[in-house]
Chains A and B, each alone.
Chain A
């Protein structure tokens, strides 16, 4: 199994942290991982993205033009990355901000209103972690439990209170993704 994913949004949305958390979790599960942030002029303009690959085998290329999962946190990223998602892949969008229509029927679309959910949770900055929770639940690439453990080894889990909050954020994201997918199934 090799899964490639691209996280994209604007600076300040914690896009790189999402990728890092994902890669770290995969690594802690004994998988091969690569984490490749876009850098330089590209990140000066206020946008950010990173590519993560998690695999059972040796990872050949750390870049991808047809990722299995694309996670977009803002509208410009939707325009840029939505069409790249591989067939039968997943497109997760931050539906609080992303409103564009994607005319693809060969991928699973998972809209998650992470900004509102984060606000409800009482910490606006946890939006990115909520999205990671949704991603894990929707795709099964890693488990929520593994993510919760890995959190402690990132900047998101340095203080016990913050760690606790972010662990809940993962659950909130997972729960939301479950609802979306169930609705889709029954529809």
Chain B
């Protein structure tokens, strides 16, 4: 699905190395790209694949690689170069349990790696977090547009569950590559113009500083225009769960459950992990005093939530690392535990709120 969406977004070049749980993607691309006249190369390592991506991006192609956590660790060097060289590329990480070899079960333990850069240097990767098959398709298409628009690597952060799951999906039409804006920065030979070099090497500190600030301005523009999130049942919420990807699916199930018991709980689901929806989360603190961050890790995104909230609300955390798939029931249990603990039930809640103001 990821593969087909990429092809429809105009991706004609794929470089990758096998690693579970994402082997369906290279397998699919190897055949599909043949059909559409594209190129598939099974590289000798993730190091090689990300550098082939660099080369293809330099030449102006829409290009993608996919891998899973340990392979993404190997790619960090190349991702740093992509950012420094300002090259557009799409990288999907089907996250598995870690650290080390970990396991191949679905996890969300690469949040820090994805959103903090992962590689060396002052840079940002745009990180998209789909939570359904349809969204995986839509966000994959969008990833290519964002990459080109900002000349920046874009990472799609999924997990094995999303990789294996099947849901009905409506695929958008195949885009016409000719409709895409021309790229005037690629290296395609110096015919009719001076030679061009694509570099991240900037030996003069002042020049590199300027480049760093140029990147910062770009990242600010991305933050302003591309931050994306979903709000679910927030109108009357007294507690808000913050979760992304697969965890958000499970959280929605949990919220349905507790709603049927009369608990007023909503969900805020970041669709972009970087840029992180700090502003809407901050605004939430005007209407709720309690947030519950739920992740399939020991707690990574919770730090971003705490930063956004800046002490203006309680932030609780619940996580299941290691590839354990939490059930909606156990999350519902956590939600109600904190809900009752804070006395958010009717009446009592109002009284306390008024008391607090006085």
A contacts, CB < 8 Å to B: 20, 23, 27, 32-37, 39-41, 59-66
A60 touches B253 (CB 8 A): yes
Q: Which of A32, A39, A61 contacts B249 (CB 8 A)?
A: A61
A61 touches B328 (CB 8 A): yes
Q: Is B20 an interface residue (CB 8 A)?
A: yes
Q: Is B329 an interface residue (CB 8 A)?
A: yes
B164 touches A39 (CB 8 A): yes
B contacts, CB < 8 Å to A: 20-21, 103-105, 160-161, 164-168, 249-250, 252-256, 325, 327-330
* Sample of 24 A–B contacts (CB below 8 Å): A33-B166, A35-B165, A36-B161, A36-B164, A39-B21, A39-B164, A40-B20, A40-B104, A59-B167, A60-B249, A60-B250, A61-B249, A61-B327, A61-B328, A62-B165, A62-B167, A63-B250, A63-B253, A63-B325, A63-B327, A63-B328, A64-B328, A65-B328, A65-B330
A39 contacts across to B, CB distance below 8 A: 21, 104, 160, 164
CB distance from B308 to the nearest CB of A (A): 25
CB distance from B120 to the nearest CB of A (A): 32
- Extra 12 A-B pairs, beta carbons < 8 Å, given A36-B164, A40-B21, A65-B329: A20-B166, A34-B166, A35-B166, A35-B167, A37-B164, A59-B167, A60-B253, A60-B255, A60-B328, A61-B254, A62-B165, A62-B167
CB distance from B178 to the nearest CB of A (A): 35
Mostly, the B contact residues are: helix
A23 touches B329 (CB 8 A): no
Question: Which residue on A lies nearest to B250, using beta carbons?
Answer: A61
B256 contacts across to A, CB distance below 8 A: 60
Query: In the complex, A35 Cα to B133 Cα: how many Å?
Result: 11
Query: In the complex, A102 Cα to B230 Cα: how many Å?
Result: 43
B252 contacts across to A, CB distance below 8 A: 60-61
A37 contacts across to B, CB distance below 8 A: 164
Query: In the complex, A20 Cα to B104 Cα: how many Å?
Result: 22
Chain A CB within 10 A, most for which of B21, B166, B256: B166
Question: Which residue on B lies nearest to A36, using beta carbons?
Answer: B165
A33 touches B168 (CB 8 A): yes
CB distance from A32 to the nearest CB of B (A): 8
B165 contacts across to A, CB distance below 8 A: 34-36, 62
